[in-house]
A and B are shown apart, each in its own frame.
Chain A
Amino acid sequence: MMTELSLNVLDIAENSIRANASLIEILIDINRSLDRLTIIIKDNGCGMSEDQIASVTDPFFTTRTTRNVGLGIPFFKMAAELSGGEFSITSNIGIGTTTKASFLLSSIDRVPLGDINCTIHTLITFNSSVDFIYTYRFNEKQFILDTREFREILGNIPFNTPDVSIFINDFLKTNKEEIDQGISI
Chain B
Amino acid sequence: MKSLEELKAIREKMKNQVGLRNETSDQTRIVVGMATCGIASGARPVLTAFSNLVQEKKLENTVVTQTGCIGLCQYEPIVEIYEPGKDKVTYIEMTAEKAKEVVEKHLVGKLVVSKYTINEGGK
Chain A residues within 8 Å of B, Cβ to Cβ:
1-2, 7, 10-11, 14, 18, 64, 66-67, 70-72, 75, 118-119, 122, 125-126, 143, 149-150, 153-158, 160-165, 167, 170-171, 174-175, 178
In chain B, positions 24-69 with a C-beta closer than 8 Å to chain A are 34-37, 39-40, 44, 47-48, 51, 55, 64-66, 68-69
Q: Is B10's beta carbon under 8 Å from chain A? A: yes
- A162 and B54 CA atoms in complex are apart in Å by 10
A18–B20 touching, CB < 8 Å: no
- A157 and B15 CA atoms in complex are apart in Å by 10
Binary CB contact string for chain B from 1 to 29 against chain A (1 if under 8 A, 0 otherwise) = 11010111011011000001000000000
B1 touches which one: A125, A143, A154, A161 (CB < 8 A)?
A143
Determine the interface band of chain B, counting residues with CB < 8 A from chain A: 20 to 34
B70–A66 touching, CB < 8 Å: yes
- A79 and B80 CA atoms in complex are apart in Å by 31
Q: Is B109's beta carbon under 8 Å from chain A? A: no
Smallest beta-carbon distance B101→chain A, Å: 22
Q: Is B73's beta carbon under 8 Å from chain A? A: yes
B65 touches which one: A2, A126, A156 (CB < 8 A)?
A126
A175 touches which one: B2, B14, B36, B70 (CB < 8 A)?
B2
